[in-house]
Amino acid sequence: MNGKRILIWGYGREGKSTERFLERCCKPASVGIFEGKREEIREEDYDLIIKSPGIIMKEDHPKYTSQTELFLEEFRDRVIGVTGTKGKSTTSAMLQVVLSACSGRNVILLGNIGLPCLDYFEQITRDTVVVYEMSCHQLAHTRVSPHIAVFLNLYEEHLDYYGTVEAYFAAKSNITRYQKEGDYVFLGDNVPYIETKAERIVLDREKHCRYQIHIMGEHNQYNAEFVHEIAVKLFGCDEAAVMESLKGFEGLPHRLQYIGEKGGVRYYDDSISTIPEAAISAVNSIPKVQTILIGGMDRKINYDILIAFIRERRDIRFICAYASGKRIYDAVGDCDNCFYREDLKQAVELAKQITQNGRACVLSPAAASYGYFKNFEERGDAFRRLVMEGSC
């Protein structure tokens, strides 16, 4: 990038990181900052345009790149890329813990779960292993794939951005689409076929063994299976050491996280839940769950599976809130186990009234937090305060 005219498109966390990287590591002819619409960019004035993730751009263009693509161009042979609709943060963190303990290598965790990748540019050595959690936005328009790719699962998500599941899947598929012979891709059994030159390893969720891990849920057993296979088969880690390090993994906040007991009721924060499958998994994972709080931003995803689950599980009390919760409630309003409240505060107040002693209540919204909270972390923190302190 030395001597090039560069434009940074988007000046959030990653855009500012890109600016710092260019100051530290490059000598461009010029660096501009832009936060407007694409049609306002004078493309002829720049040799390279570094786009931040989340900015909508429908088609690929040779002048446009991203932090992810720049990082992979330099370090792809040292990268384990992890994506999937759900579970990528937990799997990435678990993989970093296990490889750090068992491989004898320096392992860095970055990307969607941590700091932007270019913040670590000078720290990467020949022996470094990079675990890179990759969101669909980071993968969109990326024309380089990591040496080891992990594609955990695919569910309907981000339709407000991509419009169709096919477009969403196409963005995520870039994690393996440009892999080479000698590369590896680990695939969940519900991920559609992707053309790739990598060695393909499909893990069957029904055949994984049982791991002694602190985090609940069959889905986390499945996540552990990916970690186990990569550590043992690709890094030659000792089987017993891998199993022992998995036992020490404590999990991440807002993912089926136990937050305490109040009034004889155990409360769990699963604010990361943004799809119906996640809410269903929460009900099936938590012992003696009686009440679940659902609802948030309505991104027009299909809730038929959750609606059918509400009708089937009359033993569970579903408290709906916000826009998506209203849509779900309207579809099952005839069920006496489904309730509607305007917001999280009212939902928690009702949960305290209708959840019996010795039972559990979980926030697992099956919807994004945007429009009501800054992010899922803020939503989970608000839930904890409402439960434990009684105020928001």
**Helix, strand or coil, per DSSP, at residue 280:** helix
Structural fold of domain 68-247: UDP-N-acetylmuramoyl-L-alanine:D-glutamate ligase (3.40.1190)
The model's pTM: 0.91
Which residues in the chain land under pLDDT 70?
207-209, 390-392
* pLDDT the model gives residue 208: 60
Mean pLDDT of the residues in the chain:
95
Distance between CA atoms of 271 and 13, rounded to whole angstroms? 22
pLDDT 10s digits, 270-314: 999 999 999 999 999 999 999 999 999 999 899 999 999 999 999
- CA 316 and chain centroid, separation: 27
Q: Alpha-carbon dihedral of residues 375, 121, 81, 46, nearest 10 degrees? A: 80
* pLDDT the model gives residue 390: 59
Tell me yes or no: is domain 257-387 CATH 3.90.190.20. Answer: yes
Percent of the chain topping pLDDT 70: 98
Exposure string of 244-274, with b = 16+ CB inside 10 Å and e = fewer, is: ebbeebebbebbbbebeeeeebbbbbbbbbb
The pair of structure tokens assigned to 228 is 């186990």
Domain coordinates in residue numbering, the chain = 5-65, 68-247, 257-387
pLDDT 10s digits, 124-149: 999 999 999 999 999 999 999 999 99
Q: Which residues lie below 8 Å from residue 206, measured CB to CB, with a gap of 6+?
A: none
CA-based nearest residue to 225, from 79, 104, 83, 98: 98
